[in-house]
Amino acid sequence: MAKYDLRKEAEETDIQLSAIIAKLGVLGKSEIEKLLPKRTDQKALSRLIKAVNDSAGENNKMAVLSERLGGISAAVRDVVLKLV
Amino acid sequence: MNKTLSSVLLTVAIITSGCVSIPKETVELSEVTDQQITELNKSHVRFVALYYGKLRDDVNNFIDTKWAPLFLSKAVNNEGFRKDLDAAYITSNIKASDISVTWKGNALEEPQKNVVLQGVAQAVTDEKGKLGKTLLDWSEEAQSQINKKRQELLKPIYEQEKMVVDEINGAFLDLQRSQGAIKGYLASAVKLKEKNDEVLRKLGVLEKVGNVMNVVSDANSKLSSILQSKDDTKQVLQDFAAQTDQTKVRIKKAAGDTTQ
C-alpha cells in the first residue's frame, strides 16, 4: 500500500483534460466496421474449395491414366510395327 | 489385336472429350497472383501498424507534455504529503547556531550545552533522512499514477490494432486458400492437357497401325481366295503377284507414307 494516495489528483487531472483525452481514443465500432474487409461465409468458401480440389484430383488421376495409356500404346506400336 | 486397339482408342477418346485448352502460362500467372496477394497483405498490415503507431505517439506525447505536468502540480499539494514534507523540511533545516540552550531559566554552559546540541544535530540528521524518504515515497506513487494513465490510454490502441490485423490477415488467408485451389486446378488441367496431347500424338501412330492391320487382314483374305481359286496356276500366280503389289501400296498409304 502506497504511503500517499494520489488517485484523487489523477482523477482531477482526467476531468480537466477530458476533452483532449476523448480525441485520443481509437476508432469507434461503426468506423472500424466500415474499414474492415467483409469476410466470406466460411462454410460456403470451404465447400467451393473442396469442390475445386476434388476436380483437380480427378484431373491428376486422368493425367496419370493418360500417361499409362501412352505407355501401352508405345508397346503395342512397337510390336505391331515389327509384324508389319 | 483390333479389339484391343479399338478399346484403347475409345478409352482415350472418352478421356480427351470435354478438354479445355489451358496454356501453362496460366499456372505461372497464378503463382504471380499468389505473390501479389502476399505483398498486398504485408502492405495492409504495415499501414495499420503505421496508423496505430501514430496514435500511440500522440498518447505518449499527451502524457509527457500535458497530463503528467498538470497531475504533478496537483500531487505536490496532496495533504498527507505536504504535512510530512513541511515538518521534515523545517526540522532538517535546524542549525546548531540558531539554537539557544537554557536550563532552569539559565543558559546552559559547556560541556552540557554541547551534549544537548549534539543530540539536536543527530535528530536533525534523522529528519533529513525522513525528508528523503518522504520525497521518495511521493515520487514512486506519482510515477505509478503516470504509468497507470499511460497504459490505460495505450491498451485500447494495442487491442484494436491486433483485432484489425487479425481481420485483415483472415481475409487474405481466405483469398490465398481460394487462389491455392484455383492454382491447383489450373496445374492439374495443364498437366492433363499435356498428357492428352502426348496420347493424341501417339494416337496418330496407333491409327496408322490400325489402318495397316486392316489392310493386311483384307489382303490376307484376298490372297487366300486367290490361292484357293480353281483358275490355272499361271493365272493364280499372276493374280497373287498383282494382289501382293496392291497390298504393298495400300500398306504404305495406310502408314502415311506418301512416297511411291
Q: How confident is the model at residue B16 (pLDDT cuts 50, 70, 90)?
A: very low
What pLDDT is attached to residue B189? 86
> pTM of the prediction?
0.64
What pLDDT is attached to residue A69? 64
What pLDDT is attached to residue A3? 87
What pLDDT is attached to residue B193? 81
**A79: distance to nearest CA of chain B, Å?**
10
Nearest-CB residue to A80 (from B70, B74, B209):
B209
Q: How confident is the model at residue A74 (pLDDT cuts 50, 70, 90)?
A: low
**B183: distance to nearest CA of chain A, Å?**
9
Quickly count helices (H) and strands (E) in chain B.
6, 2
Q: How far apart are CA A69 and CA A76, in angstroms?
A: 10
CB pairs under 8 A between A and B: 164
Question: C-alpha distances in angstroms, B230 versus A60, B233, B245?
Answer: 61, 8, 22
Residues whose CB is less than 8 angstroms from the CB of residue B88 and which lie 6 or more positions away in sequence, other chains included: B127, B128, B130, B131, B134
Q: How confident is the model at residue B138 (pLDDT cuts 50, 70, 90)?
A: very high
Q: Are B31 and B176 in contact (CB under 8 A)?
A: no
**Contact state of A32 with B80 under an 8 Å Cβ cutoff:** no
Q: How confident is the model at residue A83 (pLDDT cuts 50, 70, 90)?
A: low
Question: Rounded to a whole number, what is the largest CA-CA distance in chain A?
Answer: 111
B141: amino acid identity, one letter = E
Q: How far apart are CA B117 and CA B114, in angstroms?
A: 5
Q: Which residue(s) pair with B107 in the sheet?
A: B102
Q: Which of B40-49, B100-109, B189-198 has the lowest mean pLDDT?
A: B189-198
Q: How many CB atoms lie within 10 A of CB A15?
A: 9
Q: How confident is the model at residue B1 (pLDDT cuts 50, 70, 90)?
A: very low
HSE, side-chain direction, 13 A CA sphere, residue B43: 6
Contact residues, chain A, for B81 at CB < 8 Å: 4
Q: Are B28 and B190 in contact (CB under 8 A)?
A: no
What pLDDT is attached to residue B209? 66
Q: How confident is the model at residue B147 (pLDDT cuts 50, 70, 90)?
A: very high
Q: How confident is the model at residue A17 (pLDDT cuts 50, 70, 90)?
A: very high
